[in-house]
Amino acid sequence: MNGWIILDKPVGLGSTQAVGAVKRVCREAGLGKVKVGHGGTLDPLASGVLPIALGEATKLCGRMLDASKVYDFTIAFGTETAGLDAEGEVVATSDVRPTLAEIEAVLPRFTGPIEQVPPAYSAIKIDGQRAYDLARKGEAVEMKARSVTIHSLRHAGLDPASVPAAVGWTPDQVRGDEGGAGRLESITLTAHVSKGTYIRSLARDIAYAVGSVGHVTMLRRTKAGPFALEQAISLDKLNAFGQGAAQSEVFLPLEAGLVDIPALNLSPEAAGAIRQGRVWTGVSADDGLYWGRDSEMRPVALVEVLAGTLKVVRGFNL
């Protein structure tokens, strides 16, 4: 078992619990003890793509943590909570409700490289302690701004329930602000972000930018690195694997986590050298990162080519 299970994680399940579920199912399927890890924590209140690596694929978990992610998220305006999500006490309120046009006008401010202050309720360590542990104790938590990149940020579609009841409104009226028409209680956005980005902080700052306050009521990860929702399976389908369902219905090969890197075909001699961790010279390929494969198309290693010399970045024991 060297590959991936891409789980569509439901709300309420923690990432560690999801890893435990995969280990249990593998035992039920008679696979014995399998090394398992995940490729990026997803909060219990969030749902969506959680890549879970098995066997040699766990060597790619660090790379998956560094990968960009895509999220759909809903901002509810008028209330800010301590955790910036649907749980936690209310810490601020506002009567201001923005129009769609006002929201769209501020989105460019949050696109590209930005500085972002993480939520106090986060796993960041302060003097050796998790920020959320300090916050839960009622201690003042000073979070330092960090640099992140928002590759894209767009309106994901207007939820009709977020618009005050006014039968017959046109799209132009929803966008406008004549007599208060088109004021939104919430909006759903899609963001493609770099590692280290906190969507809850992004939602908070967008709400501030339109003169209100807000918190996240829905958060769904639709892509993590090369993996998208279309490849994800439900918990029910995962459990079915433990009861005898075909491996092909739940399992992706190790190289599925390498599709965003070019493949490099290795000669038998080069593959043998790379498996031994040796440097190989005389490679006719551009400088950069590749995944080397042998004559049977099996992944041998992540390799780096520099001036015709090939070095091992991470080897696979396949």
Residue numbers annotated as active site: 43
Rounded CA gap, 32 and 265, in Å? 33
Cα end-to-end distance, the chain, whole Å:
10
Query: How many Cβ atoms are within 10 Å of 29's Cβ, its own excluded?
Result: 17
Tokens (6 digits) for 269 = 């001699």
Of residues 82, 101, 100, the one with CA closest to residue 92: 82
Residue 150 main-chain phi, psi, to 5 deg: -100, 105
Helix/strand/coil for 240: helix
Helix/strand/coil for 122: coil
Tokens (6 digits) for 259 = 């599709």
Four-residue CA torsion sign, 18, 19, 25, 29: positive
Provide the b/e sequence for 198-229 (b: ≥16 CB within 10 Å).
Answer: bbbbbbbbbbebbebbbbbbbbbbbbbbbbeb
